[in-house]
C-alpha cells in the first residue's frame, strides 16, 4: 500500500489561497510529482499549494517543508502556505513561534493572534542569476519583457525579483483591465525565465496601499499569493512608489508587507482551517496505474 494512503491532512486557506498541509515527519517518504497531482484530484484535498512537512534538517527548526504546485512541480516559497504550516505546528501549544526550512532557506513564523501570523520571508534578491534569468540583464528593475494581446493594454518593463521563487511585477493603471488567463501562461513561460515565473499586476493606490493580481506558475491565477505580495511591495518600494510598510489588497483579502532596515521582508496575514480529512488509498492506486 502507498505510504500516503489514509494519512490525515489539513485543508486550509490563506486569504482564499487553497492550501493542503500534509505532515510526513517520522516517515522517509518524499511525495512524487504524480502523487502530488493525485492528491490535488481528490476534491477534499484540492490545492493550489501542497505543503509537506518532513523531519528537520537544520537544528532548532521544526520541519523541512517541500512545496508543490497544483501541476506537481515544486516551489521554493509560498507565504500563504507557510502561515498555514505555522498554524499546524503551533496549534494546541503555548508556543508563539516556529522556524521551518524550505529549499529557499529558514523562515521564522510568529503567531500574532489565534489565526494571524507574521512570516519573516528573508531578503529579496535582484541579481539576474538569483531570480533567475536565462541571460544577463543589466537592470532587473526593468526587464526587457513585453506582451501585447489584442483588446488589452500593453505590458512592458516589469521588475524582476526573487523571494525564494522568481517574480515579474508589472505596474498598471488598472489591474481589472487585463485578462490574466490570456496573458499569464505565455508570460510565465517566457524564455527569459528558465524556471518559469510568477506574474503580478500591481496598481498603486497610495503610498501605503497596493492592489494586486497574481498568476502563479504551476497554478494559474489565485485569490492570493504571499510571496507575490512581497515581491510586488518590494518592487514598488524599489521604484519609490510606496513607503517601506504597505497594505497589499488581493482578491482574497489584505496582507501587510514591511521591508525592514535589515533587508528582511515581513508578511502578516490570516489563516483559516477549513477541515481535516484523510487521503483515500484509491488515489494512489489510480496514480500508479
In DSSP terms, which residues pair with 10 in a beta bridge? 21, 276
Q: Is residue 225 flagged as an active site residue?
A: yes
SS (H, E, C) 45-87: HCCCEEEEEECCCCCCCCEEEEEEECCCCEECCCHHHHHHHHH
The string of pLDDT tens digits covering residues 153-190 is: 999 999 999 999 999 999 999 999 999 999 999 999 99
Site of grid cell 521564522: 108
**Would the CA dihedral through 49, 82, 56, 264 be positive or negative?**
positive
User: Is it the case that residue 210 has pLDDT exceeding 80?
Assistant: yes
Higher pLDDT: 74 or 146? It is: 74
Segment (H or E) for 249 = strand 245-250
- For residue 289, the model assigns a pLDDT of 52
Catalytic residue among 84, 109, 225, 230: 225
- For residue 152, the model assigns a pLDDT of 85
Q: 155-156 and 220-222 as β-strands: parallel, antiparallel, unpaired?
A: unpaired
Q: What average pLDDT does this structure show over 14-37?
A: 95
- For residue 286, the model assigns a pLDDT of 60
Catalytic residue among 78, 84, 109, 230: 78
- For residue 285, the model assigns a pLDDT of 78
**Are the beta carbons of 221 and 184 closer than 8 angstroms?**
yes
User: Is it the case that residue 259 has pLDDT exceeding 60?
Assistant: yes
Question: For 142-151, 154-163, 198-207, 251-260, which range has the lowest pLDDT when averaged over its residues?
Answer: 142-151
CA distances (Å), origin 129, targets 67, 136, 176, 195: 22, 8, 32, 11
Q: What average pLDDT does this structure show over 108-114?
A: 94
Residues in the chain: 289
**Are the beta carbons of 103 and 165 closer than 8 angstroms?**
no
In DSSP terms, which residues pair with 212 in a beta bridge? 202
Q: Is residue 230 flagged as an active site residue?
A: no
Helix-strand-coil split of the chain, %, nearest 5: 20, 40, 40
Whole-number average pLDDT of the chain = 94
- For residue 225, the model assigns a pLDDT of 93
Segment (H or E) for 149 = none
Q: What average pLDDT does this structure show over 121-149?
A: 94
Buried b (16+ CB within 10 A) or exposed e, 263-276: eebbbbbbbebeee
**Are the beta carbons of 2 and 284 closer than 8 angstroms?**
yes
277 CB-contact burial (10 Å; exposed 0-12 / middle 13-18 / buried 19+): middle
- For residue 151, the model assigns a pLDDT of 82
Give the chain's end-to-end CA distance (angstroms, integer): 13
- CB under 8 Å to 163, separation ≥6 — which residues? 77, 79, 104, 121, 122, 124, 227, 230, 231, 234, 265
Write out the three cell numbers for 80.
500563504
Band (pLDDT 50/70/90 cuts) for residue 76 is confident
Its pTM stands at: 0.91
User: Is it the case that residue 57 has pLDDT exceeding 60?
Assistant: yes
The domains of the chain, with CATH numbers, are: 8-122+271-288 (3.10.310.10), 146-263 (3.10.310.10)
Amino acid at each position: 500500500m502507498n505510504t500516503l494512503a489514509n494519512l490525515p491532512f489539513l485543508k486550509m486557506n490563506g486569504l482564499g489561497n487553497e492550501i493542503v498541509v500534509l505532515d510526513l515527519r517520522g516517515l522517509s517518504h518524499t511525495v512524487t510529482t504524480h502523487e502530488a497531482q493525485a492528491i490535488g484530484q481528490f476534491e477534499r484535498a484540492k490545492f493550489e499549494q501542497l505543503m509537506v512537512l518532513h523531519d528537520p534538517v537544520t537544528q532548532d527548526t521544526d520541519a523541512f517543508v517541500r512545496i508543490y504546485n497544483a501541476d506537481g512541480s515544486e516551489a521554493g516559497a509560498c507565504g500563504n502556505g507557510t502561515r498555514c504550516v505555522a498554524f499546524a505546528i503551533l496549534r494546541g501549544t503555548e508556543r508563539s513561534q516556529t522556524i521551518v526550512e524550505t529549499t529557499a532557506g529558514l523562515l521564522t513564523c510568529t503567531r500574532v493572534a489565534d489565526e494571524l501570523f507574521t512570516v519573516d520571508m528573508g531578503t529579496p534578491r535582484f541579481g539576474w542569476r538569483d531570480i533567475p534569468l536565462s541571460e544577463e540583464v543589466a537592470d532587473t528593475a526593468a526587464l526587457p519583457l513585453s506582451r501585447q494581446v489584442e483588446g488589452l493594454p500593453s505590458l512592458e518593463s516589469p521588475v524582476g525579483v526573487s523571494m525564494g521563487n522568481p517574480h515579474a511585477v508589472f505596474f498598471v493603471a488598472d489591474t481589472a483591465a487585463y485578462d490574466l488567463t490570456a496573458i499569464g501562461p505565455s508570460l510565465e513561460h517566457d524564455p527569459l525565465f528558465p524556471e518559469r515565473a510568477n506574474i503580478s499586476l500591481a496598481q498603486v493606490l497610495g503610498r501605503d496601499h497596493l492592489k494586486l493580481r497574481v498568476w502563479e506558475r504551476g497554478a494559474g491565477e489565485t485569490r492570493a499569493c504571499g510571496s507575490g505580495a512581497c515581491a510586488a511591495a518590494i518592487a514598488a518600494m524599489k521604484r519609490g512608489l510606496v513607503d517601506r510598510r504597505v497594505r497589499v489588497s488581493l482578491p482574497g483579502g489584505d496582507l501587510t508587507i514591511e521591508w525592514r532596515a535589515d533587508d528582511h521582508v515581513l508578511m502578516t496575514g490570516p489563516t483559516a482551517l477549513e477541515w481535516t480529512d484523510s487521503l483515500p488509498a484509491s488515489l494512489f492506486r489510480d496514480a500508479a496505474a
